[in-house]
Chain A
Amino acid sequence: DIQMTQSPSTLSASVGDRVTITCRASQSISSWLAWYQQKPGKAPKLLIYKASSLESGVPSRFSGSGSGTEFTLTISSLQPDDFATYYCQQYNSYSRALTFGGGTKVEIK
């Protein structure tokens, strides 16, 4: 199975900060990586797919980059609504065994 490792696990930041979250795959996944945002008691929400494509309706302050085994999610200017937990996910592996990263909680500093 492909393992996904996110860092950091927790991040403290202030409104207006630029925030970067990293996700590493245990083997190359090309660009088959998604980022989700989850708030307490809610289902995850798709933000980014295929590593860098912005899902419709998602604010442009969110961006994704990377390919192969190293990926990043960047929030250019953190807004109050962005305090949440973020997960990366690889998909379309040969075995179709989908896996998520452990999550990054973005907290108010």
Chain B
Amino acid sequence: QVQLQESGPGLVKPSGTLSLTCAVSGGSISSSNWWSWVRQPPGKGLEWIGEIYHSGSTNYNPSLKSRVTISVDKSKNQFSLKLSSVTAADTAVYYCARATVIPPSLHYTDAFDIWGQGTMVTVSS
């Protein structure tokens, strides 16, 4: 059974860079899945940040694209999120999630069937 676990600093200073990692266990990050980051500000709804395939292909939310980098480390079976120039508006619970590819095209996936437990990140000085 695949499990996802987020990790990273819980506090980031304004104008700094938020960095999180999602460790994949019980399966390979090189399987046919897109790996995503989703966030949820306190008391608010869900916002998709972006995704990565093990080849390194990425797609990002247009509203965050200029500040987001998602990368994959196949040797560690994990993927990472970097969000630059953060402000208080970036305070949120950050989740990683999996979407399985529907063959034959890499463009089409199923919905998010596996999620991490989430990690709270606060942007404050």
- Which residues of A pack against B, CB within 8 Å? 1, 34, 36, 38, 42-46, 49-50, 55, 87, 89, 91-92, 95-103
Contact = CB atoms under 8 A, between A and B. Distances in A.
Q: Give the interface size bracket for B toward A.
A: 20 to 34
A6 to B, nearest CB: 9
Contact of A43 (B45, B107, B117): B117
Nearest to A98: B48
B90 interface: no
Interface of B: 36, 45-48, 51, 59, 61-62, 95, 99, 107-113, 115-118
Contacts, number: 58
Contact of A99 (B48, B59, B95): B48
A15 to B, nearest CB: 26
B95 A43 contact: yes
Contacts of A87: 45-46
Contacts of A91: 99, 109, 111
Contacts of B112: 34, 36, 44, 46, 89
B111 A34 contact: yes
A44 B111 contact: no
17 contacts: A36-B112, A43-B118, A44-B115, A46-B111, A49-B110, A50-B111, A87-B46, A89-B112, A91-B111, A92-B107, A92-B109, A97-B48, A98-B48, A99-B48, A100-B46, A101-B45, A103-B45
A97 B118 contact: no
A100 B46 CA distance: 6
Contacts of A89: 46, 111-112
A34 B115 CA distance: 14
A26 B45 CA distance: 18
A51 B48 CA distance: 19
A45 to B, nearest CB: 8
Contacts of B61: 97-98
A55 B48 contact: no
A38 B59 CA distance: 25
